[in-house]
Every structure is written in structure tokens, then in C-alpha cells.
């Protein structure tokens, strides 16, 4: 164990546990002693966690991000180090041995990690998405078994809802779960599953009511499924034909003879399809009860969309920092390009977007940490931060000019990585649909 890891476990974690016992969030809280009644100050433990995450990103993530992007390897080395430092699995309850961090605290870490590489952040947060249904709806035995396992060694989990014909329309999920005795038999296919090929266990949403007219809040059931269950087969991301991890010639084979699935960005995130063929799941692995799966699956997003928004904010901040540095160094017409108002205003617009995106995820995280429903704020944060990340990435490439179009410079990767923030965990359009419905319902007094 490294000295830094020892410091985290001996100093930071006890402090976080002590704070978690207090029934209010530790940051962005209403403060009657403050002259304005509101404070955005972080406490000492949060500052320590942020600084540890920042140091980790500078030393471990940024130097290796480009290589992981080229090889498309899952970043196990970095995941293991993040696990040892307590930078993942932070939301797991104390009775399972976890830190019971607030959503706000997790967002602080996510923004720092995404600053270094949003693909690596997704690898870490994808496991958090799978944990959320178990934290929300799992019984003590399920939580201890499956959440506790993630604390014993560096393992990850996966959230399996999306299908080839069901993305934004979750009610279109066709995977069937048929009850036979004390088991459920699962058949179907999932698609675009983060951590799909590396997960130790999965949260799976399946249809238990065969009636196509059954309402969503009664038609689906949530299951915990072990990775080694017979009949469960992850799709291929990089075939064995392209060699084993570490083979020196593997990169060139991938470049000239591509494997089946290559994503535009966040390439080190393990994203693939999963087939379920007569997969037997014991009834003990049902979350809550039959028919409650839709509510559980959707409820998880209230806790996970703020970290996604904070990740998008971290990527946008990286774009601004890289663009500012380049604009100060690059000269045209005898002066640094930052002296040209056209460039300076682009930087200003990037900063405006980043600051408002950060405020949006802070509000969304704060609301849910207060024990209030935050769906409205979470959707605003996710939509806005995703759009800001894409705008900042495009502007950063523009400031870099021709160099920005080349993979030798970091903004090319940032632009590819940014796009998914407008797609996964609910598209930008779905977020606007959620927000607009909330506005209309409020106006109608619902």
C-alpha cells in the first residue's frame, strides 16, 4: 500500500464516515451564520479528496490517457489504483464497509477524473450506475453480498437496460424473465453496456409481464445477475485474433485490421452487447419485488446524472485550459492569438458555460443529498453540461486550428470523447422532455 493510500484510509476515510453520520450534506449548504445565508465552501475532507483525485489524475491518468485511447484497452491498472485510494465505490453504505459519500462528494471526484480522461471516468462511474439500484432497493443481504464484494477487491459492475430496440424508450425493453419455481429464466439481448465485458455482476431490467399494454411501472423487474451465470455471453470488443493485452504488435493489428466495435470516443470504456440465453437467476436476486424494476432503474438516474454532468464539466474545463495555454503560445500577425478578440471571446464563452454547468450539477447533487427528489435539476444539469462539453471541445479544436484536427494534440480526443455526454444516461432530448414536463405539471398544479 502506497503512503498516499495509507493516508486516505487512515485520515480521509474516518473523516468522511464521521461526516456521513450528519443528516445533511457537507457542502453547498444553507448557512444561517453566513451573511448571505448560503455558502459554496467545501469542508476539509472534501478538499482533501479533491486534491487527492487531482494529484492522481495528474500522475496516473493524463500521462496514460492517449495510450488507452489508441489501444482501447480497459484501464485496469488505473481502476485498481483508484480503488486503492478510495476514489471509486464511494456511495456504498457503511454497513457494507463503504464510505457512504454524498452524491456531491462523488461529483467532486468525477469532475477531476474526467478532466484527465472521461473514458476512464466512465469506467469508474459505470460501476456506480450499477450499484445505484442495489443501494436504492436492495435488501441488507443483497447489499452486503454484492456491494461488499466491490470493496474486497477491485471489481466493477454493469447496468444492463439498453437494448438494440430500446434506448430512450425503456418501455420498449423486450428481454423476458419467466418465473419457474424459485428461479427466473432470462432471455434477450442488451446493447451498449458500460463495463459489459469486465463486470463481476450486472443489474438487469427484464419484462416479467408479457402483456405489451402493461404499464411500465408494473411490467418490469430488476435482477442482480452474476457474471459467470451459464448462458450469459458478453459480445466482443477486441477479439483474441488481435492478440493478448500487452502484445507489442497488437496496436498495429487493431489499426489496420479493426475489431468488431470501435467507438468514436471514450475508447477505453468497455462498452458492448450482452446476450442472455436461458440464464437462470434465483428469486433471491430480485430487487424489491416483481414489477418494481422500472421505478428502480429510473430512480438510479437521480443519483447518477449529477456525476455524469460533473464529468462533462471536467472535460469542458480541460478544453478551456488546453485552449488558453495554446492561445497564449501560438502567434499570428506578430502577437499571441489570445490577443485577438475573436479568440478571447471564445475562451470567455467557454468559461461561462463551464461555470453554469458546474452550478447546475452542484444544485442537482445538493437536492438529492437533502433527501429531496432532484429529477428536474438532474436533467437540467445533464443536458446543459453535455451541451457545454461539446461546445467547449469544438471551440478548443477551432482555437488550435489545423493542429486541433491532429491526434498529436489533446483537443482532438476531447472532441471525440465529448459527444457521448449528449447520448448516454438519457439523451439531451430526453432530458429536455423531462424538464418540459416538470414545467407543465407545475403550471397545471400537478
According to CATH, the superfamily of the domain at 3-155 is: Acyl-CoA dehydrogenase/oxidase, N-terminal domain (1.10.540.10)
Say whether pLDDT at 437 is over 50: yes
Closest of 96, 110, 186, 175 to residue 143, by C-alpha: 96
CATH architecture of 295-443: Up-down Bundle (1.20)
* Whether residue 111 lies in the annotated active site: no
Say whether pLDDT at 9 is over 60: no
Q: Where along the chain do the CATH 1.10.540.10 domains lie?
A: 3-155
Q: What is the Cα gyration radius of the chain?
A: 22
Q: Where along the chain do the CATH 2.40.110.10 domains lie?
A: 158-292
- pLDDT band for 392, please (50, 70, 90 cuts): very high
- pLDDT band for 44, please (50, 70, 90 cuts): very high
What integer pLDDT is reported at residue 14 of this predicted model? 42
Contacts of 411 (CB under 8 A, 6+ apart): 319, 322, 323, 393, 396, 397, 400, 404
Burial level of 37, CB count in 10 A (0-12/13-18/19+)?
exposed
Question: Per-residue pLDDT averaged across 41-61, rounded?
Answer: 95
Q: How, if at all, do strands 201-207 and 157-160 pair?
A: parallel
85 vs 2: CA distance, rounded Å = 9
CATH architecture of 158-292: Beta Barrel (2.40)
Crossing angle for the helix pair 341-369 and 375-400, to the nearest 10 degrees: 160
Say whether pLDDT at 8 is over 70: no
| Model confidence, pTM | 0.88
For residue 272, the surrounding DSSP H or E stretch is strand 271-282
**Cell numbers standing for residue 128:** 456506480
Task: Round the average pLDDT of the chain to a whole number and report it.
Answer: 89
Phi then psi dihedrals of residue 36, to 5 deg:
-100, 0
Q: Which residue among the candidates 163, 367, 412, 425 is catalytic per the annotation?
A: 425
Amino acid at each position: 500500500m502506497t503512503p498516499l493510500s495509507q493516508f486516505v484510509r487512515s485520515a480521509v476515510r474516518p473523516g468522511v464516515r464521521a461526516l456521513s453520520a450528519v443528516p445533511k450534506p457537507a457542502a453547498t449548504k444553507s448557512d444561517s451564520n453566513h451573511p448571505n445565508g448560503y455558502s459554496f465552501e467545501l469542508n476539509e475532507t472534501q478538499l482533501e479528496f479533491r486534491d487527492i483525485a487531482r494529484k492522481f489524475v495528474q500522475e496516473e491518468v493524463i500521462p496514460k490517457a492517449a495510450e488507452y485511447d489508441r489501444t482501447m484497452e480497459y484501464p485496469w491498472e488505473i481502476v485498481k489504483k483508484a480503488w486503492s485510494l478510495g476514489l471509486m465505490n464511494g456511495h456504498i453504505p457503511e454497513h457494507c464497509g463503504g464510505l457512504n459519500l454524498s452524491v456531491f462528494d462523488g461529483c467532486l471526484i468525477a469532475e477531476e477524473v474526467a478532466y484527465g480522461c472521461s473514458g476512464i471516468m466512465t469506467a469508474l462511474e459505470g460501476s456506480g450506475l450499477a450499484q445505484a439500484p442495489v443501494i436504492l432497493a436492495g435488501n441488507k443481504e443483497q447489499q452486503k453480498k454484492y456491494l461488499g464484494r466491490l470493496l474486497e477487491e477491485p471489481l466493477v459492475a454493469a447496468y444492463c437496460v439498453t437494448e438494440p430496440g430500446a434506448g430512450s424508450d425503456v418501455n420498449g425493453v423486450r428481454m423476458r424473465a419467466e418465473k419457474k419455481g424459485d428461479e427466473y429464466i432470462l432471455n434477450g439481448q442488451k446493447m451498449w453496456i458500460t463495463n459489459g465485458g469486465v463486470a463481476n455482476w450486472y443489474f438487469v431490467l427484464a419484462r416479467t409481464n408479457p402483456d405489451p399494454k402493461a404499464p411500465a411501472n408494473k411490467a418490469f423487474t430488476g435482477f442482480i445477475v452474476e457474471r459467470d451465470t451459464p448462458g450469459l455471453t458478453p459480445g466482443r470488443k477486441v477479439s483474441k485474433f488481435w492478440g493478448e493485452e500487452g502484445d507489442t504488435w497488437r496496436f498495429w493489428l487493431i489499426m489496420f485490421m479493426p475489431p468488431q466495435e470501435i467507438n468514436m470516443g471514450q475508447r477505453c470504456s468497455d462498452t458492448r452487447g450482452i446476450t442472455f440465453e436461458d440464464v437462470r437467476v434465483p428469486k433471491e436476486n430480485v430487487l424489491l419485488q416483481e414489477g418494481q424494476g422500472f421505478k428502480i432503474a429510473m430512480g438510479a438516474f437521480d443519483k447518477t446524472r449529477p456525476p455524469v454532468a460533473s464529468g462533462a464539466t471536467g472535460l469542458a474545463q480541460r478544453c478551456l485550459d488546453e485552449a488558453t495555454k495554446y492561445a497564449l503560445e501560438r502567434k499570428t500577425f506578430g502577437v499571441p492569438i489570445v490577443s485577438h478578440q475573436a479568440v478571447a471571446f471564445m475562451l470567455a464563452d467557454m468559461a461561462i458555460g463551464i461555470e453554469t454547468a458546474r452550478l447546475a450539477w452542484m444544485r442537482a447533487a445538493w437536492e438529492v443529498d437533502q433527501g429531496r427528489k432532484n429529477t428536474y435539476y438532474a436533467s437540467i444539469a445533464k443536458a446543459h453540461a453535455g451541451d457545454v462539453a461539446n461546445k467547449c471541445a469544438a471551440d478548443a479544436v477551432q482555437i488550435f486550428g489545423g493542429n486541433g484536427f491532429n491526434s498529436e494534440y489533446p483537443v482532438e480526443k476531447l472532441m471525440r470523447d465529448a459527444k457521448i455526454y449528449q447520448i448516454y444516461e438519457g439523451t439531451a432530448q430526453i432530458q429536455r422532455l423531462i424538464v418540459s414536463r416538470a414545467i407543465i405539471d407545475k403550471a397545471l398544479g400537478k
